[in-house]
Amino acid sequence: MPGEPRPDAALGLDGVPHTGEGISPDGHLIEPQAEDFRSASLVPRDPNWFKNAVFYEALVRAFSDADGDGTGDLRGLASRLDYLEWLGIDCLWLPPFYASPLRDGGYDISDFRAVLPEFGSVEDFVYLLDEAHRRGIRVVTDLVLNHTSDAHPWFQQSRRDPDGPYGDFYVWSDDDQRYADARIIFVDTETSNWTYDPVRGQFYWHRFFSHQPDLNYENPEVQEAMLEVLRFWLDLGIDGFRLDAVPYLFEEEGTNCENLPRTHEFLKRCRKVVDDEYPGRVLLAEANQWPADVVAYFGDDAIGGDECHMAFHFPLMPRIFMAVRRESRFPISEILSQTPEIPSGCQWGIFLRNHDELTLEMVTDDERDYMYTEYAKDPRMKANIGIRRRLAPLLENDRNQQELFTAMLLSLPGSPVLYYGDEIGMGDNIWLGDRDAVRTPMQWTPDRNAGFSQCDPNRIYLPAISDPVYGYQAINVEAQLNNSSSLLSWTRRMIEVRKQHPAFGLGSFTELGSSNPSVLAFLRRLASDEGTEDIVVCVNNLSRFPQPVELDLSEHQGCAPVELTGGVQFPTVGELPYLLTLPGHGFYWFQIVRTVDDGEAR
Amino acid sequence: MSEVPEPSELVSGLVAGLPGWLPNQRWFAGKDRPVLAVRPLRSTVLHDGDPLLVHVMVEVEQQDRREPYQLLVGDRHELPDHLRSSWIGPGYEASADSDATAPLLDLIAGNSRVDTLVFETEPGVQLETGLRARPITSEQSNTSLVFGHQYILKLFRRLTPGPNPDLVRHRALHAVGCEHIAEPLGSITGELAGQPTTLGMLQPFVADAVDGWAMATTSVRDLMAEADLHADEVGGDFAAEAHRLGHAVGAVHSDLDRALGHEQLGPERLAGVVAAMQRRLDAVLTSVPELGAYEAELRAAFDKAVDAEESITVQHVHGDLHLGQVLRTVSGWLLIDFEGEPAAPAEDRVALHSPLRDVAGMLRSFDYAAHQLLVGQPEDHQLARRAMEWSRRNRDAFCDGYAEVATRSVGDPRGHATLLRAFELDKAVYEVAYEHANRPEWLTVPLSSIARITTEGDHQ
């Protein structure tokens, strides 16, 4: 078709391998293949690694800039892996770094097989992966299955050539009346789930923005093409994917087009590819719904789960904040009691903060009930109602509360996900607007640009935080590394303690009720194959005031709690309820240890 | 104790020791006058072994009063140290002995009959057995044992011939599917004065529950720590909980009405209700002179209530509702202990009352929770205002929640302002007497409430 633009014209990827560089005689786009690149070495295989891993979310753009252009990149990130290893991180989670017009934070992917040039190249990614794996750190990234950017060469071909190989890659219709029961997610921006394309002369379906056409999963070739995308990255050595917006893959007339059985069927296919071809790699579902509904994305309970290995537990996070504001454990107790058992091969991901997030102003119950309604809605609605602040400023920079929150994150059921910078108590810049407020450069040193980049400070993608309290001169990794009482050193120590006790990751969870509503106490328990048990008791004072609590530890009569950070043995558990006192916002982690006759812990 | 006496010897020796022992028991209701004699009514060996467990009913004579009580008596070859404080001589009070009380659950689970004692499960209930028991230490007028983490068995201490209203009301509420009670699972019945009499009730134990008083005072503490924030601005705001609590109480009243019906009382009977309030006032005035300053206003408020309503609806109610009688669980609020005011005569505890009496009890309790941190502290105008703010906000939220599901005859309790105020004042008069006798430094709490309610005019 002479005179027409090339399908890859919108990508801006000239000079690097990308989709649509050429077209085969039968009309198929030439796409980069994994064999074209070196692949990374792997971490020794452990099928359950994700169940007790500590995750760390880092934004490539914000972490470290190697080439001095003012924007973080994959090489820069790789140069900071020693830090993450020192901190005790097991897995790095990277939000999308694919080629993208960046109209939706990189979730609008224009080429699944190329890296956004400002972040580097596929080779750079393999280098990062290799370096991470050498340190025992795994890497997962986001993958959007539901849609592509409208700049994706697939879409460009689909709109121009309805009869070509990509003609049915998207959901086209002559009118905009089908699937009328599907709600519109971005009500602020979109008026319909259908948009008219003047090139093809038809409407296309999109659950999110109109520049993000939905892929047509009815078409077996789309399913195959997306499985090939998974294989591409898995072949390069990636350890897993966080699957974005999974509930919407299929459409069906007369339904709300969410969570349809065929969507689950496709996830099972993805899982089978992972299990058969790449055992030990994981799929993590992003389904921002109530835990009871999210459980469906773990798949068949009877066989330990056959869809996603992990899913984020979304409602827990705001309730941790609410419970501390309320000085009452009930917001946390309630949501945990409503959280069903998950299949044996699965794990929750839990977090306090991440790059985009729900409002934390849910401290009255009216608002909490409102939250119930909100959670029934869409995963990405949260962007429309989100207040994005970092942990430290949310807690008014109160060190005790930061420690209490982190201690709960590291001890509640699920694998914890830390958000970059929170380990040093970084602040945010609300004047940047809420999207960028929590995405400022990682603060490494008190030097220029916080040690993030050597560039001219005017060139940096976002200015480093520079206010007197949270500014990089005061809050940075270098200063805290040299201070054994810093938040960073404390966080590292707690991660280390967590790793010494597999019950934190793998153990059962039992809340220990007490008559004090301000104290959240629970017991984690794991039986080993050798017949021993790892029993950990965590006691958290959600109140700013000192509190007593009497715990029913009668099951462990004769045993002694040993405090985990210092190893101090507490009095032996007797016939009566076990009395503890906690300072305001204080917490304890104990291991329950049998004592021999002389009362010494064994 | 090398020789364990025969059960009959044990009991006859025991009754001799009881007059000295009983007045020191928290649950003993007759501490106001000396015990003249204790007579055995019936004793039943529940477990013949070591430890021995005997169920004993005795009659306690005190001046003009003769009241029956139940005891669990144990005996052992060797008494462990932790049971020494339970020693009566001979024998010991066995409710604190986990080894001795274990058979009680098994007897209920097995629907057993021992002599005249009937142990039974509620229809369709299957119980787990073989669990160890421990006593709950917070109980006031009865004794409760927790089995494992699953069940709680309440043993009524002072007995009234006939079925206990606590069990009757729990059964009725459960039958209509009430969500705000712990399901009755089983019971123990004995014979007293020729009538089958409830001795105990088994329910699921809600291990992670917190009582309403602890919840409310946590919120008040939070408010008092914020000098510059109002009650609706602090993170620890309780209004949403108070609203749901009101909803729970309203639902229980509706369910009791649905299950057990109601009666409509005409003006005469209403006058009788008010006359009882006046009589209580008469009695308290003689012992607490501080109350005299409010006598005229109190009498006027009571008198006004006689004409305030054409008739009142009475039904089964809780009877002694306050924040300590409600439990916050992870699934919402539960009401416990439906046996009425422990100090009230038996006929009053089974009688029908206006649901507004329960509402008034809870409203008074909010007032107490709001002011409890101020007791014994130097006067602080700012904190006193905060306390009032908290009390008003949560009393209103409670009434809002209540009105959502109340019976049609009651609706929004604030719609019966005059009668509700009379019930509240009556309760406050009772509190005056109680505080005067037990905690004089708290006397200002009900007295200042009375001052406020009688000067504020209509209910606020």
Convert the pLDDT of each residue in A547-600 to its tens digit.
999 999 988 999 999 999 999 999 999 878 899 999 999 999 999 998 765 555
Among B26-40, B189-203, B286-300, the least confident range:
B26-40
Contacts of B208 in chain A (CB under 8 A): 333, 511, 513
Q: Is the pLDDT of residue B459 over 70?
A: no
- Burial class from Cβ neighbours inside 10 Å (0-12, 13-18, 19+) for residue B245 reads buried
Q: Is the pLDDT of residue A118 over 90?
A: yes
Q: Are A43 and A133 in contact (CB under 8 A)?
A: yes
Q: Is the pLDDT of residue A362 over 60?
A: no
Does residue A573 belong to any structural domain of this protein?
yes
Q: Is the pLDDT of residue A320 over 60?
A: yes
Does residue A567 belong to any structural domain of this protein?
yes
User: Mean pLDDT, to the nearest integer, of A475-497?
Assistant: 96
Instruction: Compute the distance between CA of residue B428 and CA of residue B420 in angstroms, rounded to an integer.
Output: 12
Share the mean pLDDT of chain B. Answer: 90
Active site residues of A: 244, 286
> What is the per-residue pLDDT for A105?
86
Q: Is the pLDDT of residue A323 over 90?
A: no
Does residue A568 belong to any structural domain of this protein?
yes
pLDDT grade for B381, boundaries at 50, 70 and 90:
confident
Mutate to test the interface with B, among A319, A322, A324, A330 (most CBs of B within 10 A): A330
Contacts of A523 in chain B (CB under 8 A): none
Q: Which two tokens stand for residue A354?
A: 């991440």
Cβ separation of A365 and B209 shorter than 8 Å? no
Question: Could you tell me the CATH number of the domain that includes residue A555?
Answer: 2.60.40.1180
For chain A, what is the domain count? 1
Instruction: Compute the distance between CA of residue B385 and CA of residue A40 in angstroms, rounded to an integer.
Output: 68
The CATH H-level superfamily of B210-317+352-456 is: Aminoglycoside phosphotransferase (APH), C-terminal lobe (3.90.1200.10)
CB contact B236 to A (< 8 Å): yes
Contacts of B328 in chain A (CB under 8 A): 330, 517
φ, ψ dihedrals at B267, nearest 5°: -55, -35
Instruction: Compute the distance between CA of residue B438 and CA of residue B429 in angstroms, rounded to an integer.
Output: 14
Cβ separation of B243 and A363 shorter than 8 Å? no
Q: Which two tokens stand for residue A590?
A: 């104990």
Radius of gyration of chain A (CA): 25
DSSP one-letter string for A263-295 = HHHHHHHHHHHHHHHSTT-EEEE---S-HHHHG
> What is the per-residue pLDDT for A596?
66
Which H, E and C letters describe A5-31, residue by residue?
Answer: CCCCHHHCCCCCCCCCCCECCCCCECC
> What is the per-residue pLDDT for A367?
47
- Burial class from Cβ neighbours inside 10 Å (0-12, 13-18, 19+) for residue A569 reads middle
Does residue A113 belong to any structural domain of this protein?
no
Q: Is the pLDDT of residue A531 over 90?
A: no
pLDDT grade for A383, boundaries at 50, 70 and 90:
very low
**Each residue of B281-313: pLDDT tens digit?**
999 999 999 999 999 999 999 999 988 888 889
Among A151-155, A245-249, A368-372, the least confident range:
A368-372
φ, ψ dihedrals at A520, nearest 5°: -100, 115
DSSP one-letter string for B302-331 = HHHHHHH-S-EEEE---SS-SGGGEEEETT
pLDDT grade for B132, boundaries at 50, 70 and 90:
confident
User: Mean pLDDT, to the nearest integer, of B166-191?
Assistant: 97
Grouping H, G, I as helix, E, B as strand and the rest as coil, residue B267 is helix
> What is the per-residue pLDDT for A516?
94
User: Mean pLDDT, to the nearest integer, of A483-488?
Assistant: 95
Higher pLDDT, A394 or A305: A305
Instruction: Compute the distance between CA of residue A318 and CA of residue A357 in angstroms, rounded to an integer.
Output: 9
- In chain B, which residues fall in CATH 3.90.1200.10? 210-317+352-456
Grouping H, G, I as helix, E, B as strand and the rest as coil, residue A55 is strand
Contacts of A330 in chain B (CB under 8 A): 210, 328, 330
Grouping H, G, I as helix, E, B as strand and the rest as coil, residue A514 is coil
Q: Is the pLDDT of residue A384 over 70?
A: no
Does residue A242 belong to any structural domain of this protein?
no
> What is the per-residue pLDDT for A57?
96
> What is the per-residue pLDDT for A434?
58
Share the mean pLDDT of chain A. Answer: 90
> What is the per-residue pLDDT for A192?
93
Which H, E and C letters describe B219-246, residue by residue?
Answer: HHHHHHCCCCCCCCCCCCCCHHHHHHHH
Share of chain B above pLDDT 70, in %: 97
> What is the per-residue pLDDT for A80?
98
CB atoms within 10 A of CB B162: 15
Cβ separation of B210 and A327 shorter than 8 Å? no
- Burial class from Cβ neighbours inside 10 Å (0-12, 13-18, 19+) for residue A515 reads middle
Displacement of CA A432 from its chain's centroid (Å) = 23
> What is the per-residue pLDDT for A372?
39
Q: Which two tokens stand for residue A128?
A: 């990062």
CB atoms within 10 A of CB B67: 16
CA distances from B392 to A2, A476, A558 (A): 79, 48, 49
Angle subtended at Cα B147 by Cα B143 and Cα B148, rounded to the nearest 5 degrees: 145
User: Of the candidates A364, A514, A552, which has its C-beta nearest B237's C-beta?
Assistant: A364
Residues 6+ apart with CB under 8 A from B365: B212, B213, B216, B321, B322, B323, B324
Grouping H, G, I as helix, E, B as strand and the rest as coil, residue B400 is helix
> What is the per-residue pLDDT for A359?
45
Does residue A341 belong to any structural domain of this protein?
no
pLDDT grade for B207, boundaries at 50, 70 and 90:
confident
Does residue A187 belong to any structural domain of this protein?
no
Does residue A215 belong to any structural domain of this protein?
no
Burial B12-36 (b: 16+ CB within 10 A, else e): eebbeebbebbbeeebbbbeeeebe
CA distances from B263 to A10, A506, B257, B315 (A): 81, 59, 10, 6
pLDDT grade for A388, boundaries at 50, 70 and 90:
low
User: Mean pLDDT, to the nearest integer, of B57-82?
Assistant: 90
Minimal CA–CA distance to A403: which of A518, A324, A334? A324
Q: Is the pLDDT of residue B141 over 90?
A: no
Mutate to test the interface with B, among A361, A367, A515, A578 (most CBs of B within 10 A): A515
Among B48-62, B130-144, B248-262, the least confident range:
B130-144
Structural domain including A516 reads 508-594
Q: Are A88 and A75 in contact (CB under 8 A)?
A: no
User: Mean pLDDT, to the nearest integer, of A93-113?
Assistant: 94
> What is the per-residue pLDDT for A97?
97
